[in-house]
Amino acid sequence: MNTASLSQPSLLRQYLVLTKPRVTQLAVFCAVIGMFLASPGLPNMRVVIAATVGIWLLAAAAFSVNCLIEHEIDAKMLRTARRATARGTISVTQALFFAGVLGGLGMLVLYNWVNPLTMWLTFATFVGYAIIYTILLKPLTPQNIVIGGLSGAMPPALGWAAIANSVPAEAWVLVLIIFIWTPPHFWALALYRSREYEKSGLPMLPVTHGRKFTQLYVLLYSLALFASTLLPFMVRMSGLPYLAAAVVLSGLFVWYAWRLYRNYSDALARKLFHYSIVYLSLLFGALLIDHWIALV
């Protein structure tokens, strides 16, 4: 038996990887939190399920388009070189068709079983990430992740719109938190992968402005993140249980960022990156738990 065929992932697995499932799951999780926070009680579960499926499909389509557009860049980076579009095992036409089917189904589900507002907001998010960020911002400016971060920050607003058919100020508070979280999260990754980004030709901040400058920006954004996570309590979206969780979780984030600034190592940058993913999940989970406590 050919050993190469044994190590080759199945075609289904290759297509799944194009959707960046871990990133998609985090985005959909934040959208679901937005759905529950938008309802004074238990939301309509039929709408929750339909919105979750529709948002997942469009998010998966956006990430697939991202992989398609960046297939040459991905081939130069160890982290992404095994993607099927980078290796050529899935062609441009196949990837485009796959993304089109996912996106079309997502829009169909959102329009017919949720509401048009959610469909259009999710489609705008798709365009913002797959087109504006991937094609225009990412290869042109080291501030790409800051300017383009709004697309990745939209899931709570999408979830809120699905239940309330509106996007009030409370939803934008959640968007702001993710918007500020995105740069230190991504720059931590860029720091310990800086050689790969330099090889790829992308103008990531550690490549264009150096490691120390990026470390400082990670720290400053972490402090801004700490402040932004207090907003739900300040505008009375949440109570003391959330506030306590936010202070502890954000304090640990700042502590990691401070250590990274004072005494850099790739291992510490990697720890901050992985913690940032857990951090966002726990923070939004604390918002939901606080919401349910208030209902009891």
pLDDT of residue 261: 98
Counted residue by residue, the chain has a size of 296
Residue linked to tokens 């289904």 = 12
Query: Within this chain, do residues 188 and 245 fall inside the same structural domain, yes or no?
Result: yes
Residue 251 has a CB neighbour count (10 Å cut-off) of 12
Classify residue 77: in a domain, yes or no: yes
Which of 166, 189, 204 is where one domain is finished?
Answer: 166
Which of 166, 190, 213 is where one domain is finished?
Answer: 166
pLDDT of residue 24: 94
Proportion of the chain above pLDDT 90, given as a percent: 78
- For residue 90, the enclosing domain spans 11-166
Classify residue 5: in a domain, yes or no: no
Which of 116, 138, 166 is where one domain is finished?
Answer: 166
- The predicted-structure confidence for 224-279, as pLDDT tens digits, reads as follows 999 999 999 999 999 999 999 999 999 999 999 999 999 999 999 999 999 999 99
pLDDT of residue 18: 92
Query: Within this chain, do residues 225 and 100 fall inside the same structural domain, yes or no?
Result: no
Query: Within this chain, do residues 211 and 258 fall inside the same structural domain, yes or no?
Result: yes
Q: What total of structural domains would you count in the chain?
A: 2
Query: Within this chain, do residues 205 and 144 fall inside the same structural domain, yes or no?
Result: no
pLDDT of residue 53: 98
CA 84 to chain centre: 21
Query: Within this chain, do residues 153 and 192 fall inside the same structural domain, yes or no?
Result: no
CATH number of the domain that residue 109 is part of: 1.10.357.140
pLDDT of residue 202: 87
Query: Within this chain, do residues 137 and 193 fall inside the same structural domain, yes or no?
Result: no
pTM here is 0.93
Q: Among candidates 63, 54, 52, 2, which has minimal Cα distance to 28?
A: 52
pLDDT of residue 93: 94
Q: How far apart are the first and last CA of the chain?
A: 61
Q: Which DSSP string corresponds to the chain?
A: --HHHHHSPPHHHHHHHHT-HHHHHHHHHHHHHHHHHTSSSS--HHHHHHHHHHHHHHHHHHHHHHHHHTHHHHTTSTTTTTSHHHHTSS-HHHHHHHHHHHHHHHHHHHHHHT-HHHHHHHHHHHHIIIIIIIIIITTT-TTHHHHTHHHHH-HHHHHHHHHHSS--HHHHHHHHHHHHHHHHHHHHHHHHTHHHHHHHT---HHHHH-HHHHHHHHHHHHHHHHHHTTHHHHTTSS-HHHHHHHHHHHHHHHHHHHHHHHS--HHHHHHHHHHHHHHHHHHHHHHHHHHHHHH-
pLDDT of residue 7: 56
Residues of the chain falling short of pLDDT 50: 1-6
